[in-house]
Amino acid sequence: MELEIKKFLFDIRESIDSIENYLADKRDFKVYLSDKMLRRAVEREFEIIGEAMSRIERIDSTIEISSKKQIISMRNRVIHGYDKIDDEIIWGTIARHLPTLKLEIEELLK
């Protein structure tokens, strides 16, 4: 695997770890909604994940990550549609898709 791709995979893993750390004792949607700084921090990490994924895709589109296109699309929505971010979608992504992405990234980094 190309060194540059590994760097982007590390960036994704670091952002996932950051999201998990931000939410450590706040795994409650109502708490998430009421904390603007927390929401913005999580959104920023999703921007980084999506940008890193986009760069991986440009270098080697054969890298197997399930939801690759959705991750890139989410990044674009967060950046360009900042005024229309759906907090429920972000929260659902954290709960349902982030654990899978983390496992896939860990596997690719082995």
Catalytic residue selected from 27, 44, 55, 80:
80
Catalytic residue selected from 58, 75, 77, 96:
75
What single-letter amino acid sits at 11? Answer: D
- Angle CA 10–14–20, to nearest 5: 145
Secondary structure (DSSP) of 1-20: --HHHHHHHHHHHHHHHHHH
CA–CA distance, 79 with 66 (Å, rounded to integer): 22
Question: Is residue 97 flagged as an active site residue?
Answer: no
**Do 79 and 47 form a contact (C-beta atoms < 8 A)?**
yes
Question: Is residue 80 flagged as an active site residue?
Answer: yes
Q: Catalytic residue numbers?
A: 75, 80
